[in-house]
Amino acid sequence: MIDPSFGTASREAESAMATIVTYTDHELPQNHYPHQIVSPSHPGPCCFSDMEAVGTAQTETRWLFQYQRCRECGFTVRVILREIPDSALTAALRKTLATSFVRNVPDL
Ligand SMILES: [Zn+2]
């Protein structure tokens, strides 16, 4: 498990999102972003100074997040950058609905 004090991800956010990170000490750290990242199960002292962003910020449900990976040991954590306000989500949904309404979707 990740030290709960590491990173800013809340339990609520963690449970709401699927993750591409596999935490294991039986395999070498690997970075196959955006498909899979193999990370050591625990962060080391190096992780607090050598973290680098992996990929771009992504949104999932109500969260904007980004993976950060340690250059030294490969420990990866998903950092919640911010919570998306409901109003922004509603606006995005409205836009999606408007777009899908005018789009010519063939019958499946
Ligand atoms: Zn590290």
Question: What residues pack around ion ligand 1 (CB closer than 5 A)?
Answer: 44, 46-47, 70, 72-73, 75
DSSP conformational letter for 95: H
Between the CA of 11 and the centroid of ligand 1 the distance, in Å, is 22
The answer to whether residue 1 is domain-embedded is no
The string of pLDDT tens digits covering residues 45-89 is 999 888 999 999 988 888 899 999 999 999 999 999 988 888 776
Per-residue model confidence as pLDDT tens digits over 2-15: 454 454 555 555 55
Domain interval for residue 91: 11-102
Instruction: Find the helix or strand (DSSP H, E) in which 31 lies.
Output: strand 30-32
Asked if residue 60 is part of any domain, the answer here is: yes
Helices then strands, each counted (H, E), the chain: 2, 6
Q: How far is the CA of 96 from the centre of ligand 1 (A)?
A: 40
Q: Quote the pTM value.
A: 0.64
Work out how many domains the chain is built from and give that number.
Answer: 1
Q: Which two tokens stand for residue 82?
A: 């911010």
Q: Is 4 part of any domain? A: no
pLDDT at 62: 84
Per DSSP, the residues of 53-90 read EEEEEEEETTEEEEEEEETTT--EEEEEEEEPPHHHHH
| pLDDT of 16 above 80 | no
**Of residues 18 and 46, which shows the higher confidence score?**
46
